[in-house]
Amino acid sequence: MSTDTLAPALSVDDATADLLFREARTTREFTDAEVTDEQLAAVYDLVKWGPTAMNTLPLRVLAVRSPEARERLVAHMADGNKERVSTAPLSLVVAYDPAFHEHLDTLMPHLPGMRDNLHAVPAVREDMGRTNGLLQAGYLVVGLRAAGLAAGPMNGMDHAAVDAEFFAENGWRSLLVINVGVAAGTGTTYPRAPRLAAEQAVTTV
Amino acid sequence: MSTDTLAPALSVDDATADLLFREARTTREFTDAEVTDEQLAAVYDLVKWGPTAMNTLPLRVLAVRSPEARERLVAHMADGNKERVSTAPLSLVVAYDPAFHEHLDTLMPHLPGMRDNLHAVPAVREDMGRTNGLLQAGYLVVGLRAAGLAAGPMNGMDHAAVDAEFFAENGWRSLLVINVGVAAGTGTTYPRAPRLAAEQAVTTV
């Protein structure tokens, strides 16, 4: 564990804090262990409980598993990310659905008019979908780790091309790609980069 | 705990899964317990380890503590959120710093030119700051819960007015507000809203 945390202020034990944050690394090197659809469902069933505005839950995940699909994804990744996607056990295209409002009669039953109101304002839905999808992407990174999986998130990709390739029919929009698997060792040969101190990022008025 | 999770697939115990996700609620009702700056620093020192693109760490947090500052924030919240901010033990304005690149010589020492490259492209920094700030906001919600605190995130606010009110000098941009404290009971009288099933949000190709 790191030395600058105030462990007594936490309600989770050190092993959990290490697993979810302090020792977890952006992983580039994985074992051959497979990531099953059942594992992904368990992760989703955990992180779906995280809060989103009006319970909109716009996060969508495309698990790119087949060699053919993987090749289609690699083609649209930035050059520096192609090999990582080629060799990861599984890559997730993390996206949001701008048509999230279609589920609101179920997800937000005490606001019965919201579905129709949002139907009329696609730009608002784009903004809400992106904002809350990214919040949920943060929950997802933690949830993968809570399932003993390592995550290698990356944003270097041609988003429009990925969306045209995979989401032409359902209209989802890509946010990032996360390589997923079991880490080999620490999962990376990079030394751990420093972080900002709390007093650089948190101020009080 | 909920009944539709596959607990054996998780590496954290049920109590942790419940604390961070399954039993945690968007909280509107808090006890009188104070949230200290030390607790906030401990939360930041946990979640700062979460991954961001190029270790940019754009998240910034303004803790609104004094009655005078709280009044200034309440004025710019949506009507439905004013009372919640007035009565919460502490409210955080979660933001990002578009000038995050100024720290990259420290945060990303093996990419020495990145600071200057990003200085020249403010629109790219806005996009990176917002994307990675929201990812970190997701980590922050989990981190608050890991410190035994309850979170009530909300997005209904006049973002431009909040930024003008609090961030005219440092240029930060608000993403959301999170009310923080110790939950009174379950922290809410709302029944728990349903979630999408994994098969509605996760697909495989």
As for the ipTM of the complex, it is 0.95
User: What does residue A151 show for φ and ψ, rounded to 5 degrees?
Assistant: -120, 140
Query: Does the residue B202 lie in any domain?
Result: no
Query: Does the residue A197 lie in any domain?
Result: no
Q: Identify the pLDDT of residue B190.
A: 86
User: What does residue B178 show for φ and ψ, rounded to 5 degrees?
Assistant: -125, 115
Are residues A196 and B103, on separate chains, in Cβ contact within 8 Å?
yes
How many whole angstroms separate alpha carbon A85 and alpha carbon A93? 11
Query: Does the residue B201 lie in any domain?
Result: no
CA A110 from chain centre, in angstroms, equals 29
Q: Residue A42's domain spans which residues?
A: 13-184
The band of B112, judged by pLDDT with boundaries at 50, 70 and 90, is: confident
pLDDT digits 0-9 by tens, B161-200? 999 999 999 999 999 999 999 999 989 988 899 999 999 9
Residues from chain B contacting residue A136 (CB–CB below 8 Å): 138
Residues from chain A contacting residue B16 (CB–CB below 8 Å): 12, 16, 146
CATH number, domain at A143? 3.40.109.10
Query: Does the residue B7 lie in any domain?
Result: no
pLDDT digits 0-9 by tens, A63-119? 999 999 999 999 999 999 999 999 999 999 999 999 999 999 999 988 889 999 999
Query: Does the residue B65 lie in any domain?
Result: yes
Query: Does the residue B47 lie in any domain?
Result: yes
When the pLDDT of each residue in chain B is averaged and rounded to a whole number, the result is: 94
The tally of domains found in chain B comes to 1
Are residues A141 and B51, on separate chains, in Cβ contact within 8 Å?
yes
Query: Does the residue B103 lie in any domain?
Result: yes
Are residues A41 and B199, on separate chains, in Cβ contact within 8 Å?
yes
What single-letter amino acid sits at B35? V
Q: From the list A45, A60, A140, which residue is nearest B6 (CB)?
A: A45
The model's pTM is: 0.96
Q: Identify the pLDDT of residue B95.
A: 98
